[in-house]
Homo-oligomer: A and B are copies of this chain.
């Protein structure tokens, strides 16, 4: 591509090394143009790598002048096509990867300030180095960035006690669609000075502003953490176990994951080197995580007592407690291998849904039965964060049917069926993955009409030219809806 005035201007406010264009950088650009699951291959006008807020602001101002739309990108680990460009070759991908420093840790205030391109695992480590703890944690933590975590209000495995990314953030700095820098980068637990601009940007998927820095909440490193793997017969039993675990362990219950028999069977089949904690168990599996700020002794004794009482009452059939940090990691590794195992089994139809916990049993019963009526012998890979009411409810082809054919024939019908059931049970069609471009049309169907209308008004007010991640969350007049 010959150098347009826009690209020349970009290079002049950055440096040639910070601006990648076609065709010279085409190979390296590919990873920034396609999504994590490689479902869609877009084409960018350029990929730029600002190093500072001022550089990012200069980029936004150039885009405003030239009417170029921006796709902000962190680690590009999103699952809903929210951080990659469309195929028109006219959008600018703004990567925050080189804005990647932990700026400070304030141990007395229990906060950490980082640039938005900082990798989540680096933030966790920086906190740990000071004897502190940043509890946001998820499978992609080695490559996702805190800016992306905030833009998508990421969830992960510690939500039960600590909430989603939104609850872990005290303040942000962001470049806004008018080219200004909004500085609400405060490390305050209480601050009632006008509308909550922080939480408006968090979860807005880069459509209202590009987060450049964040102040994050830290906790003391826990003194003890224990994982246990328990086997129950039915999904209902897992719900009952959650209730008991909350009662017995209180705030020390920091994780409660559930996995259906097929999810574990696929891990056994496709990731056979992983040692299964309950290889003979044929029912549902539960991974419990317990965290204590005081002592391992109490925590271990109370966990043992909980397990024993559940065995005595036959609520669980079997159970093991990790005896070391390494064993705990192994248990989590099994849980986190489910996505790989199901991918190996073949493409399936994915849902990231949430429900009131009181509705979950009824939902699972109803949706499983309705799916069997629609597609005899259909299989479901059902796992997730039961403690948060969040299921990754994925529908897999019956044995003997090719996944691609299955998707062709049933994808729309399955989505309709599952989302209708979610709506009937007062749930959400996107618990933690967000909307992106992938679920934008679904959102129009399932979100409250007034809420959608207010969202459109806000988008129009803050980004009247529609240059910030157009087509994500809300439809854009300028982009093909999908």
Q: Chain A interface (Cβ within 8 Å of chain B)?
A: 106-111, 152-153, 155, 159-160, 163-164, 166-167, 176, 178, 180-184, 186-197, 199-200, 202-204, 208, 220, 222, 239, 243, 246-247, 249-252, 292-294, 298, 302, 354-359, 385, 388-390, 426-435, 443, 446-455, 457-462, 473-474
A208: chain B residues at CB < 8 Å are 195
Say how far A165's CB is from chain B's closest CB, in angstroms: 10
How many chain copies does the complex carry? 2
* Contact for A455 among B195, B385, B452, CB less than 8 A: B195
CA distance in complex: A474, B107 (Å):
35
Nearest chain B CB to A256 CB, angstrom units: 11
Contact B181 A108 (CB under 8 A): no
Q: A188-B389, A191-B431, A246-B220 are in contact. Are A197 and B109 (CB under 8 A)?
A: no
What's the Cα separation between A447 and B196 when bound, in Å? 12
B197 contacts A199, CB within 8 Å?
Answer: no
CA distance A227 to B167 in the complex (A): 27
A429 near B193 with CB under 8 A, answer: yes
Question: B residues within 8 A CB of A239?
Answer: 108
Give the contacting residue for A184; candidates B250, B390, B429, B451; CB below 8 A.
B451
24 A-B contact pairs sorted by A residue (CB < 8 Å): A106-B356, A108-B357, A108-B358, A109-B358, A111-B356, A163-B189, A164-B190, A180-B450, A182-B450, A183-B450, A186-B428, A193-B429, A193-B447, A194-B452, A195-B204, A195-B454, A196-B202, A197-B454, A197-B455, A199-B199, A252-B293, A458-B458, A458-B462, A461-B461
Known: A109-B356, A194-B451. 12 other contacts (CB 8 A): A108-B239, A109-B358, A155-B192, A166-B199, A186-B427, A188-B431, A190-B354, A191-B354, A193-B430, A194-B435, A196-B203, A200-B458
CB of A155 within 8 A of CB of B250, answer no
What are the residues of chain B within 8 A of A160 when measuring CB–CB? 189
Nearest residue, chain B, Cβ from A188 = B354
Contact B193 A106 (CB under 8 A): no
Q: Is the CB of B294 within 8 A of A428?
A: no
Q: Output the least CB separation between A424 and chain B (Å).
A: 13
Shortest beta-carbon distance, A418 to chain B, in Å?
A: 15
- Residue on B with the closest CB to A389? B189
In the assembled complex, the Cα of A354 lies from the Cα of B294 at a distance in Å of 29
- Tell me whether A431 and B108 are in contact in the complex, defined as CB-CB below 8 angstroms, given that A176-B454, A197-B451 are known contacts: no
* Bound CA span A243–B110, Å: 10
What is the CA–CA distance of A430 and B460 in the complex, to the nearest angstrom?
A: 30
Q: Are B431 and A166 in contact (CB under 8 A)?
A: no
Could you say which residues of chain B place their CB within 8 Å of the CB of A448? 182-184
The smallest C-beta distance from A353 to any residue of chain B, in angstroms, reads: 9
Contact check, A192 vs B426: say whether CB atoms are below 8 A apart.
Answer: no
Q: Cβ of A195 and Cβ of B203 under 8 Å apart?
A: yes
A186 / chain B contacts, CB cutoff of 8 Å: 356, 426-428
A355 to B292, CA, bound (A): 28
Note all chain B residues with C-beta closer than 8 A to A451.
Answer: 182-184, 194, 197
**Closest beta carbon of chain B to A358's beta carbon, Å:** 4
Given the known interface contacts A111-B356, A184-B448, the answer about A193 and B435 at a Cβ–Cβ threshold of 8 Å is yes
Residues of chain B contacted by A108 (CB below 8 angstroms): 239, 243, 356-358
